Amino acid sequence: MGFMRKGLFASLLVSGMLTAGVAAAQVEVKLGHVGEPGSLFDQSAQEFARRANEKLGDKAKVVVYGSSQLGGDSEMLKKLKLGTIDLALPSTVMSSEIPAFGVFEMPYLVNDREHMVKIREQIVKPQLFPAAEKRGYHILGVWENGIRHITNNKRPIEKPGDLSGIKLRVPQGVWRVKMFQAYGANPSPMALSEVFVALQTGVMDGQENPFAQIYPSRFQEVQKFLSLTGHVYTPAYLTAGRSWNRLPEDVRKVLDETATEVEPFVLETAARLDDELLAKLKEAGMQVNEVDKEAFVAASQGVYDEFADEVPEGRDMIVKARSLAGGS
């Protein structure tokens, strides 16, 4: 009888240990992005993780890996396809994967964030989300990278001709290259993590990014001029890949809902950072100048024409996006 009791006790002990092991094996949802600490990407991802983890309890935990820890944008898209990471926050690079996303590479298409909200609800979600699904990407929410401006070490950029001969780093995406070629610059795609050293060593003369990437990346330490071109507004897309359907359905529901819930927070934070960070960039000694936007718009027409001709739905998306600008 004592032997049976001991056996029963041992069996219960093993069972308890196994149960504890199962409880400890919480699902980790890896979210990667290229932003530095304090960037809009960082603040957006951390807020999403905080809200999602409150709802998920012990079902799963979103863990954020910023500063390109999981790779640059192109590398993370590949990892989403492989299922080795769960979520990423691509921006411009999506136009390299899915041509229709190039609509956000069109200069001066988005007037402001109110306009972007209309575009998000009437173009991005109904048209671009399904296009991404066909390529194996599930987009949970539309966040922001921001309104882009040019920095460089050569001269203030006031009109397109001032970019002549400037070696300019751009993100991965064919249309950004075409746009800056049209302006006379010498653009080269490069991962964000490599840009600081490229600017510091003179491999690149300049780059273009929103304030919320420029300041946290410390480009003000290696760049003299900041020209307020505002040439492109780039959304960012909280995106899943192959591992998405492996997650429990209730976890997916929480992640989807929270990504959408965070959208207003992202836009509010972005607007606040625009004001705060421009002031900090000026304090850091950058020479800031306004530009002749009409000259840039005029120099952009060829890019619009080419996009409309090359991308089947391109012309219709441009027309629709412009029609949504009224009253924004």
Helix axes 314-323, 301-310, angle to 10 degrees: 130
Is 1.10.3720.10 the CATH classification of the domain at 27-323? no
For Cα atoms 49, 54, 59, give the angle at the middle one, nearest 5 degrees.
Answer: 90
- Tell me if 168 sits within 8 A of 151, measured CB to CB: no
For position 1, what pLDDT does the model report?
Answer: 47
Residue of 101, 123, 80 whose CA lies nearest to 321: 123
Residue of 62, 288, 89, 263 whose CA lies nearest to 192: 89
Write the pLDDT tens digit of every residue in 286-322. Answer: 999 999 999 999 999 999 999 999 999 999 999 999 9
The pair of structure tokens assigned to 63 is 């863990």
Residue of 174, 96, 181, 98 whose CA lies nearest to 135: 98
For Cα atoms 99, 101, 103, give the angle at the middle one, nearest 5 degrees.
Answer: 100
- Verdict on whether the full-model pTM lies above 0.75: yes
Q: For the chain, how far is it from start to end, CA to CA, in angstroms?
A: 82
The pair of structure tokens assigned to 324 is 């949504």
321-325: long-range pairs with CB below 8 Å, 24+: 321/103, 321/109, 321/110, 321/119, 321/123, 322/109, 324/115, 324/118, 324/119, 324/122, 324/123, 325/111, 325/115
Instruction: Compute the Cα dihedral for 55, 82, 34, 116 and give only its sign.
Output: negative
Taking 70 as the pLDDT cut, the residues of the chain under it are: 1-24, 327-328
Please state, in angstroms and rounded to a whole number, the distance separating the CA atoms of residues 327 and 325. 6
User: Domain extents for the chain?
Assistant: 27-323
For position 25, what pLDDT does the model report?
Answer: 72
Please state, in angstroms and rounded to a whole number, the distance separating the CA atoms of residues 304 and 107. 8
